[in-house]
A and B are shown apart, each in its own frame.
Chain A
């Protein structure tokens, strides 16, 4: 039980369709995620991977099955499961500093104003955004916004960091930069992270395990891949690494041979 940090037990999600049978998005999902583990969930669009994340976050409830965090069943959203959304979701009327402060203030009301300021600044500095802390989200780049989103999520000391295609809306250079940020942060402050992605390289580079989802409807876990690569990882050096290449090929094989999907 000690290692059973985040547990998904026979999770199923159905959406009612008027006049027809329910649409089964995901079904029979069983998964155990350990503390400080980084797990990617990868699959074609429509495989219910975001649905799965929403159920872990509690923003959406499963139709049947159970999700436990530290032995406690999840019944709704809470700050122990912070989410980094694809569209950063910073409040545009607050500065970078105020966006993070709002979250810390709400989750840790016991902090003195000095402790509060120190904590907010610590997380701003963690994502190297010190010089931009008084800027509004409209004044900074997409990659910077996403870094603020990560800082805000981590600042409330969540048990699990949930990331819903966090770098999907960014160009590939910015994306690589943010992946490096995330790996660097993970070296500093250990976190349990679940990342939804459709990027094969991202999945291998970031994760300890890659969960591969079959296609919907009624999607479920197809295969689980262990990525046995030392950290810190260097994206350039890895290009020649046998383990990296093996993992990449395994995922590509799964996505494009076993569960290939026609573009709709």
Chain B
């Protein structure tokens, strides 16, 4: 990277940032309930308000625990992450074998495809009341919702991966007399894994979006609930703090998932440049 490029990469986002904050500050002067950048800064990091009140920020002590209902922001984010991860892992465990079966067998494809096509476009939040009825508890409901969110991209991409297996590879396997299990592990999976990881990355992104909405409906803990709760408590600046936190965590999740999927992608390994 040239020095010029590096400079642009730092200076340009900085300029955008200044422009956004300036525009926002201007807007907040006209819109009564819109918190100003300064309000949000105070809400996040604490300080003294223009009225002379001393307030503690959301990020000043993210680890506090007053009661089960009143915990620091770290615990809220952690609760959401745990649900996303649980639902996501469950979706991988179910979705990958299902995708492999559908991709490898025409019969399984015919049997299941219509239902996948019908259920895929349903908003995961439509399932939420049903899960709440079944489980009568917040955590399993949220996890099940994330499961339903995550499973479709994982299934679709696993199928896509299997369909991308070159006919020649299968012929090589047939000549070597691979068993069906060897076929899956030595031919299908290596080809499909990069596709599966693309599906997982998509899933994780959507899951992180959905968990915020789901928690607003279920209540209890979690970053989504927290944002909604701050709205109800009239702590408007905290809503924006919440939005920024959700954004940063989502970005980190996507970056980590991207690195993991690159690691498992044979096409990114030792290919001639």
A78/B177 contact (C-beta < 8 A), A91-B172, A92-B266 known: yes
Q: Are the C-beta atoms of B171 and A135 separated by less than 8 Å? A: no
- The answer to whether A78 touches B175, judged by C-beta atoms less than 8 angstroms apart, is yes
Residues of A contacting B166 with CB < 8 Å? Answer: 89
Q: With an 8 A cutoff between CB atoms, is B24 at the interface?
A: no
* Chain B residues whose CB sits within 8 angstroms of the CB of A139 once the complex forms: 270-272
Question: B267 an interface residue at 8 Å Cβ cutoff?
Answer: yes
Query: For window 86-130 of chain B, which residues contact chain A by CB distance below 8 Å?
Result: none
Interface string of A70-91 (1 = CB under 8 A from B): 0000001111011101010101
| Known pairs A83-B172, A89-B172, A106-B177 / 13 extra A-B pairs, C-beta < 8 Å | A78-B177, A79-B175, A79-B176, A85-B168, A91-B172, A91-B186, A91-B187, A103-B172, A136-B271, A138-B267, A138-B270, A139-B271, A156-B176
Query: Within 8 Å of chain B (Cβ to Cβ): is A31?
Result: no
Q: Mark A88-121, 1 if CB is under 8 A from B, else 0.
A: 0101110100000011001100000000000000
How far, in Å, is A168 (CB) from chain B's closest CB?
14
* B270 and A83 within 8 A (CB): no
Interface residues of A in 137-158 (CB under 8 A from B): 138-139, 156
Give Cα distance in the complex from A221 to B49, angstroms. 96
* Interface residue count on the A side (C-beta < 8 Å): 25
Cβ contact within 8 Å between A81 and B175: yes
Bound-complex Cα distance A138 to B169 (A): 15
**With an 8 A cutoff between CB atoms, is A57 at the interface?**
yes
Tell me if B174 counts as interface (CB < 8 A to partner A).
Answer: yes
Taken residue by residue from 143 to 179, chain B's Cβ proximity to chain A (1 for < 8 Å, 0 otherwise) reads as: 0000000000000000000000010110110111110
Chain B, residue nearest A138 (CB): B271
Say which size band chain B's interface belongs to. 20 to 34
Bound together, the chains give a CA A95 to CA B271 distance in angstroms of 11
Given contacts A85-B168, A87-B168, A138-B272, contact A93 B175 (CB under 8 A): no
16 contacting pairs across A/B (C-beta < 8 A): A76-B174, A77-B171, A78-B175, A79-B175, A79-B176, A81-B175, A83-B172, A83-B175, A85-B168, A89-B166, A89-B171, A91-B172, A93-B191, A138-B272, A139-B270, A139-B272
Give residues in A with beta carbon < 8 Å to B.
Answer: 57, 59, 76-79, 81-83, 85, 87, 89, 91-93, 95, 102-103, 106-107, 135-136, 138-139, 156
In the bound complex, what is the Cα–Cα distance between A245 and B272 (angstroms)? 42
Chain A residues closer than 8 Å to B272, beta-carbon distance: 138-139
Which partner residue on chain A sits nearest B174 by CB separation?
A77
Contacts of A89 in B (CB 8 A): 166, 168-169, 171-172
- B-side contacts of A82, CB under 8 Å: 175
Beta-carbon nearest neighbor of A92 in chain B: B266
Contact B187 A59 (CB under 8 A): no
Q: Which residue of A lies closest to B266 (CB)?
A: A93
CB-defined contacts of B172 to chain A, threshold 8 Å:
83, 85, 89, 91, 103
Partner of A136, one of B171, B182, B269: B269
CB closest chain-A residue, reference B172: A89
Contact partners of A77 in chain B: CB under 8 A:
171, 174-175, 177
The answer to whether A106 and B178 have CB atoms under 8 Å apart is: yes
CB pair A59 B171 closer than 8 Å: yes
Whole-angstrom distance between the alpha carbons of A106 and B187 in the complex?
Answer: 14
Residue of B nearest to A107 (CB): B176
Chain B residue nearest to A85 (CB atoms) is B168
Is B72 on the interface with A (CB-CB < 8 A)? no
Q: Across the interface, which residues of B come within 8 angstroms of A78, CB to CB?
A: 175, 177
Q: How far is the CB of A72 from chain B (nearest CB, A)?
A: 15
Nearest neighbor of A99 in chain B, beta-carbon distance = B172
Q: Is B37 part of the contact surface with A, judged by Cβ < 8 Å?
A: no
Q: Does B171 contact A79, Cβ atoms closer than 8 Å?
A: no
Q: How many angstroms from the CA of A136 to the CA of B190 in the assembled complex?
A: 14
A157 to B171: give the CA distance in the assembly, Å: 18
Question: Which 10 pairs, one residue from A and one from B, show the smallest C-beta to C-beta distance?
Answer: A93-B266, A89-B168, A136-B270, A138-B271, A77-B174, A93-B190, A106-B176, A139-B272, A77-B175, A85-B168
CB within 8 Å of A: which B171-201 residues? 171-172, 174-178, 182, 186-187, 190-191
Closest CB of chain B to A108's CB: distance in Å? 11
CA distance A102 to B183 in the complex (A): 12
